[in-house]
Amino acid sequence: MIKLFKKKNQTEKLICDQRLQHIAFIMDGNGRWAKKRGMPREYGHTQGAKTFKLITDYCGEIGINTVTVYAFSTENWKRPAAEVNALMDLFMDYIYEALEVMMKKDVCIRFIGDKTPLSDNMKKLMADVEEGSKNNTRHLNIAINYGGQDEIVNAVNLALKQGKTEISAQDIESNLYTNHVAMPDLIFRTAGEQRLSNFLLWQSAYSEFYFTDVLWPDLKPEDIDKAVADFYSRQRRYGGL
Ligand code: FPP
């Protein structure tokens, strides 16, 4: 039996084992967090970006090998231009610092989603970060202009281009944006909504789900500990007995 909790420097520290290797986050509630403070939605996203760093770092500390975050969906372009621009600026700020930070933390970054409508500068910087970090052993996938349906259609089209005339599940899986990592063990959504919102539709076939009312900018490592404990109390049967 693998120990979940390990003593380190007199404090109990949570360490996950191979049953929980990949957590995917739907980072919801930035707008409501800002509204509660009488601030514009953009302020919520700025705080959300800080929480993203805090939570992804914490997941690394507790032994999670792969983290995937839903940062911008294919539907988020419908938001007011000022909000879309603020989000793109936050992504750019992060991309500028990402390579240096990820090399220190041994993390391979991939930006998953359809990059076509992103600016040339952003695409170039993303490619540099992906290339520079590709041999690192842990994984961070940031979904930008990502849609699960779009990803499956894209995977089928890639398989057709590879000469397939009949498509198998394996053909789809090997062409997903996440073909370099295992399927998510846990999908974690903040801010009370209990839906997938077009996130990781294929990959979530056997994922466990965890929902909390906590708004993303308020999320703390203790909330991750609660979700992890809840995850370990469940039995995953993958359709078997
Ligand atoms: C959904 O909450 C959140 C988003 C559409 C944006 C998520 C982006 C971040 C947390 C920033 C991540 C930063 C980096 C660098 C990856 P919402 O705004 O729809 O909240 P609401 O439902 O309360 O309105």
Per-residue pLDDT of the chain (241 residues; tens, 9 = 90+): 344 555 455 567 789 999 999 999 999 999 999 999 999 999 999 999 999 999 999 999 999 999 999 999 999 999 999 999 999 999 999 999 999 999 999 999 999 999 999 999 999 999 999 999 999 999 999 999 999 999 999 999 999 999 999 999 999 999 999 999 999 999 999 999 999 999 999 999 999 999 999 999 999 999 999 999 999 999 888 888 7
Q: Would the CB of 67 count as within 6 Å of ligand 1?
A: no
| pLDDT given at position 60 | 96
- Indicate whether residue 30 lines ligand 1 (CB < 6 A): yes
Residue 141 near residue 200, CB atoms below 8 Å:
no
CA of 8 to the centre of ligand 1 (A): 34
Q: Please state, in angstroms and as integers, the Cα–Cα distance from residue 31 to each residue in 22, 74, 89, 154, 201, following that order.
A: 27, 18, 17, 31, 24
Question: Is the CB of 187 within 6 Å of ligand 1?
Answer: no
Which protein residue has the closest C-alpha to ligand 1 atom 6? 71
- Give 28 Cα–ligand 1 centroid separation in angstroms: 6
The closest residue, in CA terms, to atom 15 on ligand 1 is 91
pLDDT for the residue numbered 96: 96
Distance between Cα 160 and ligand 1 center (Å): 34
223 vs 157: CA distance, rounded Å: 39
Q: Tell me the CATH number of domain 21-232, given options 3.40.50.11900, 3.40.1180.10, 3.40.50.300, 1.10.10.10.
A: 3.40.1180.10
HSE-up of 211 (CA within 13 Å, CB side)? 7
Q: Which of 25, 26, 28 to mutate to test the pocket of ligand 1 (most atoms within 8 A of CB)?
A: 28
Residue 113 Cβ contacting ligand 1 at under 6 Å: no
In degrees to the nearest 10, what's the CA dihedral of 199, 235, 18, 228? 70
Pocket of ligand 1 contains residue 42 by CB under 6 Å: no
Residues labelled as active-site residues? 28, 76
Residue for token digits 């295992």?
182
Q: Which atom of ligand 1 is nearest to the CA of 193?
A: 22
